[in-house]
Structure 1
């Protein structure tokens, strides 16, 4: 965060710490802000994103940044100024998130660096990516854009078989270096919706005119659920796997309340506070069954992130004359664009989500009865650290129904 940020949603109050739980406040704070600024900039009201995926790739860029470029990324992401300590805490958090997933859950993430054969990347930076990010590093011929895109896609698909066509030939025509991250989640709901109860329901617009139908899922059971008057919403927890380490929080605004107005309350109410209240209310009302109806849905989103990152105080990194990434290369790199693609499939028993964020460094400067009847917010969370892996807004009721982020660098 910087003094020029328009809206401060959460402040970084946690000093250097010695555990993954406390360190996780940093990507979590970043997640809250990037979600807000992305929604505001794009006027998005139906999208999915992986804030953690974006945070991961931006911290990778920070590892090679200098001067004001370094400072601006550090403030926006909440990275510890002591880089050695940051890398240690990052490793601890990664181990917590990715190395101990329960039965019924798959969660994996990989960073990658695709380098044009004509661009020099410092060995020290490659070593950092390899040791701290377990990155996949490849030197390719960016002149043959189609073959390079095919090779890059094969690298990703070897790790994530269900993730395909992340790159296209045009991506490599405008880049000298691509730093990216892919994250994948597949979870089995601990309390699934019964497929036989799913029905087609007619959807109406504000004038009570039919605009189509959706598949509405239904279940009745004992689930963590609370009425949050301070947020003008009801919140439901849907656990995944056998030990409930991961869950989806579904925030249902009161009738007439917009999701973004509810979201603004997260500057006063923390994710951990929500989880604590859900747990307390569930213990106090554990015998109470709730009736839940939610749509079966699939959301694909593709979004540029330069403007949201500008709003968070990251400017110099995108300017050919100001971007400083001397610890990546001596070739005068700057970030051409940060692009994010995400997809979620939410069905009766299973949720599948994936995302990629490639950043392109360019080689030339140029410009109790819960029924989802209105838009709702959802967060896919790792509960012990309260880390937001995925987030989004569903509002396809109005319209009737790819997670990828990356950074492209340019050199001068």
Structure 2
């Protein structure tokens, strides 16, 4: 069995979620139907909504089901922008961090290209953390022009936790809505939608032990969103579409389990993360940890995230060599047509393109053990040496071939 260190991409389904999913898959009923089967399905959906609301610190009416985090982010950013701009044509500025997941980043850029949005890209420090002072200055310069602020709760690549509550308080002083992509944070960090001051917040099922293809957008009861999808008017007329009862039931089961186990699981993963960090640095002294350090387990970094850059090699080369050794990790960077590209997150943090191309993310989850970390540390020195010998090859296919030949 391979050692799986890519839980940030997706994590194995939990026993609770699998049981809920299989139970509901064997049943029939559209939750919008009025007959008995429909009413039964509706009851399952509404009970799931209550469970998720309790897990995320929200009112059940604030839970809007989606197909996942990407749809939730699109609905939040576009919906807030269109609603705010339609109320006042001056409101065209989107204040956004440059280290967002592409679900937010690409949505903001689409609005800029196609719908007249003006984007303010916030500065981040060497750890990828947004400057609150920069947000304050940008809002104060012309509050009436700001449509929304969007800053993720925790970064999916380098693991740094953002000052979301502080930024939300600042935005609320001016009556400006704020969205946060909490896909990586939910189930890994203690959070409360009600206590955050956010207008909207995105979560996803497959990051917390639920199935792929289901998520939710938390939407404050007084928040106005222009729909992206139109149809039957489900979900407060914010998100139309027949609800996926089995996946929603599984999402609720996964959320309840993840949040219920968080008081012990969070510290366990953080301690394991620190062991991984120490092991990697001991095995490859050249490796550089990226993102906010958190040796005291203060919650400054996602508990399961350890992101490094390895000088002198392609991240993809190291990934393939580790994969051949039975270790599954991620570069954390976008690839198109097999051509590696430097991570926009690392570039925003001030790294050069060459530094950024040597990225490798190791992410832990509910199935991770100390033996997984030990296996990585044992395999890493040889894999790094061979990746470095291959050099900055620049193309995934040639890297794959070189890695196979060396092994």
TM-score range, shorter chain: under 0.3
Higher helix share: 2
Higher strand share: 1
Higher relative contact order structure (alpha carbons within 8 Å, sequence separation ≥ 6):
1
**Structure 2 length-normalised TM:** 0.23
